């Protein structure tokens, strides 16, 4: 794909819709794991869920005006922050699961700021009920935490590919 094609795609609603829909699919999968499969999310899972909501927000923001550079840069910034934070959290969770230690545990409640008490406002989505060291699910020998490392790394790699197209003017 040429740079001009990437620029055109990054400036289209389709690219931002793909970001938003993929993040929404991850959120729905998380809720299915929690309520359909009865797998309790830990506090690190909840933080990763929030990072995925950041990706969803980035996609929705980009959808509002994809031809506007300021909107793309704001959405790309949110995309980057959410991807990096999510990847950091997923790597920490995998480390906790692979190297359990009584000295390295996660808290029972999320440490959201008092002005953003998501676990109190929407406990069905943001209240952790599991332990970080538990590995309740695997697919193809890969844990859920490890799959989230793959997911966040993929989002970050996609952002790297689209960084210049996001920053370029529509007239380029």
Measure the CA dihedral 62/157/47/11, to 10°: 0
Catalytic site includes residue 45: yes
| Cβ contact 131:66 at 8 Å | no
Q: Pick the catalytic residue: 13, 69, 72, 106?
A: 106
**The tokens 């799959």 sit on which residue?**
147
Q: Pick the catalytic residue: 45, 69, 72, 171?
A: 45
Catalytic site includes residue 132: yes
Map residue 29 onto helix, strand or coil.
Answer: helix
Catalytic site includes residue 13: no
Identify the helix (H) or strand (E) that includes residue 62. helix 43-64
Distance between CA 135 and CA 74 in Å, rounded?
A: 36
- The residues carrying an active-site annotation are 42, 45, 49, 106, 132
């Amino acid at each position: 794909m040429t740079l001009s094609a990437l620029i055109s795609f990054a400036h289209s609603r389709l690219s931002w819709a793909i970001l938003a829909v993929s993040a929404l699919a991850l959120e729905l999968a998380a809720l299915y794991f929690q309520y359909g499969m009865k797998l309790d999310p830990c506090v690190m899972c909840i933080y990763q869920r929030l990072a995925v909501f950041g990706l969803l927000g980035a996609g929705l923001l980009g959808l509002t005006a994809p031809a506007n550079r300021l909107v793309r840069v704001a959405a790309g910034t949110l995309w980057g922050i959410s991807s990096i934070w999510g990847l950091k959290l997923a790597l920490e969770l995998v480390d906790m699961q692979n190297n359990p230690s009584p000295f390295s545990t996660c808290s029972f409640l999320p440490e959201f700021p008092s002005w953003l008490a998501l676990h109190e406002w929407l406990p069905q989505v943001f209240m952790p009920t599991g332990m970080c060291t538990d590995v309740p699910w695997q697919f193809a020998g890969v844990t859920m935490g490890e799959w989230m490392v793959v997911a966040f790394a993929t989002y970050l790699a996609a952002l790297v590919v689209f960084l210049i197209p996001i920053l370029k003017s529509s007239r380029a």
